Amino acid sequence: MTPLSCSPDAEKGQNALVRITDHLFAPVRIRGEQLAELLVPFGHPAHIRRHSAAVIISRVQLVAALFAVLVPLWSAIDWLVFPWPQWAQMSLMRLGSGLVFLLLAWPWPWPASRLHADLMLLVLLLVPPLFFLGSLSILDGLPLTGSAALVAKLYGLLPNVVLAGLAIFPLTALEVLFFSIPAFLFTMIGIVLSGDLPSLMEHGPMLWLMVLVMGSAMFSGMSQLHYMAALVNRAMIDPLTGLYSRRSGGETLDLFFRLSTQQDMPLAVAFIDIDHFKSINDGFGHDVGDRTLKMVADNLRLGLRGGDILIRWGGEEFLAILNNTDVEGARAVIQRLRELGLGNRPDGRPITVSIGIAERGCDGVRDWPDLVELADSRMYEAKRQGRNRAVLPGMDGCIPFRLRAAQS
């Protein structure tokens, strides 16, 4: 029996189909762990939470600034279509809503945390449905015809406006669902206040439309979050090693340094340089050198604690931020790296590194660039003393840093 084989034309057709599907789906291709991050907000990296908070706050402030102007101006419509004192009451509600929007738009000197962003967004989303309920109370029992009836019906669409507004924010599916709850809740309250009983035939289409709007907002929010995360990761994450880039690592170190100063807590950094790395590139090629860099980065991460930050500072240099760590804690980190090892060079010999340690309090530095510069100078001191060792603060000499060969 001869094996089955495809004709050249069939193979060309299959290859063309693969190219077409890759072209169609490549822009939205999402890995399993990324899908989980789009569905729920738990477990997002700190830099993604920080950037999403900044985007949410800026967009809340922009929308609030527009509404702070437009909502009070709409009082002119109320004056034209509603009688006294209803139009005056509506105007007072509008002035109150405008004040809330103005407070949201104001550039308060608060930290851009995710909790702060979510609270601002929640307040922004609560104002339209509360205004809707207030308008029902004011216009209750008032015979409305013509333009007055039309304006009153427009107010009944405010919960849908809230749901549609969620589409401009980078949110996970669960977050969109959470922020949609007030709109559905106030809609049901409005139905009851209008003297009606919720009815599937009468109110079902409206609720179905709200569900569709919420679904569209959910898809839009997840898409924005995915796109934002991709851009942030591209700017902040080193593509070869998966570590923080120098730019994003500097921002993180700046934050850690300020917190350490404010709370008078220790903060150490370890400047790490691979010994004789150039010989790997020269002797085995840059592809092997790249694989070696990635292996060292992975092994360094294994030796650090969960709260420590590892940065690819440049070339074969790494910077480890040892948060809330004094000199003795840094010594323990070095000992753990010594026991774990960093892998083998292409020729089978163990990889060694030279390390310089600096600690904010012990060294008395005033800013993080000085801390990094001091750790860098101690790393070069380790090089001058023969490599494969570390230099710590307050030492006349240095700690031998003999790494064990990686286990095969």
pLDDT per residue as tens digits for the range 290-336: 999 999 999 999 989 888 999 999 999 999 999 999 999 999 999 89
Q: What is the pLDDT of residue 403?
A: 43
- Preceding amide of 85 cis, omega within 30: yes
Which is higher by pLDDT, 127 or 1? 127
**What's the mean pLDDT in 194-209?**
80
CA distance 334 to 352: 12
Q: Torsions phi, psi of 334, nearest 5?
A: -60, -40
Q: What is the pLDDT of residue 290?
A: 94
Q: What is the pLDDT of residue 25?
A: 42
What is the identity of the amino acid at 111? P
**What's the mean pLDDT in 222-235?**
86
- Grade residue 140 by pLDDT with cuts at 50, 70 and 90: confident
Q: What is the pLDDT of residue 24?
A: 43
Distances (CA, A) of 333 to 27, 163, 337: 41, 50, 6
Cβ(313)–Cβ(375) below 8 Å: no
pLDDT per residue as tens digits for the range 9-28: 555 555 655 555 455 444 44
**What's the mean pLDDT in 222-227?**
91
Q: What is the pLDDT of residue 394?
A: 76
pLDDT per residue as tens digits for the range 343-367: 999 999 999 999 999 999 989 999 9
Q: What is the pLDDT of residue 9?
A: 56
Tell whether the model's pLDDT for residue 211 goes beyond 90.
yes
- H/E/C letters for each residue in the chain? CCCCCCCHHHHHHHHHHHHHHHHHHHHHCCCHHHHHHHHCCCCCCHHHHHHHHHHHHHHHHHHHHHHHHHHHHCHHHHHHHCCCCHHHHHHHHHHHHHHHHHHHHCCCCCCCCHHHHHHHHHHHHHHHHHHHHHHHHHHCCCCCCHHHHHHHHHHCCHHHHHHHHHHHCCCCHHHHHHHHHHHHHHHHHHHHHCCCCCCHHHHHHHHHHHHHHHHHHHHHHHHHHHHHHHHHHHHHECCCCCCECHHHHHHHHHHHHHHHHHHCCCEEEEEEEECCHHHHHHHHCHHHHHHHHHHHHHHHHHHCCCCCEEEEEECCEEEEEEECCCHHHHHHHHHHHHHHCCCECCCCCECCEEEEEEEHHHHCCCCHHHHHHHHHHHHHHHHHCCCCEEECCCCCCCEECCCCCCCC
Q: Pull the structure tokens for residue 74.
A: 């709409």
What is the identity of the amino acid at 42? F
Backbone CA torsion sign across 404, 300, 274, 242 = positive
pLDDT per residue as tens digits for the range 38-69: 899 887 877 788 889 999 999 999 999 999 99
How many C-beta atoms lie closer than 10 Å to residue 48's C-beta? 20
CA distance 117 to 100: 16
pLDDT per residue as tens digits for the range 245-274: 998 899 889 989 999 999 999 999 999 999
Q: 390 has which bridge partners? A: 355, 399
- Grade residue 217 by pLDDT with cuts at 50, 70 and 90: very high
Q: What is the pLDDT of residue 1?
A: 37
pLDDT per residue as tens digits for the range 163-181: 999 999 999 999 999 999 9
Packed helices 114-139 and 86-105: angle between N→C axes, nearest 10 degrees: 180
Alpha carbon 198 to chain centroid distance? 40
Backbone CA torsion sign across 251, 257, 263, 267 = positive
**What's the mean pLDDT in 368-376?**
95
- Going from N- to C-terminal start, the domains of the chain cover 32-236, 246-400
Q: Pull the structure tokens for residue 64.
A: 């609030």
- Grade residue 193 by pLDDT with cuts at 50, 70 and 90: confident
- Fold of the CATH domain 246-400: Alpha-Beta Plaits (3.30.70)
Tell whether the model's pLDDT for residue 134 goes beyond 80.
yes
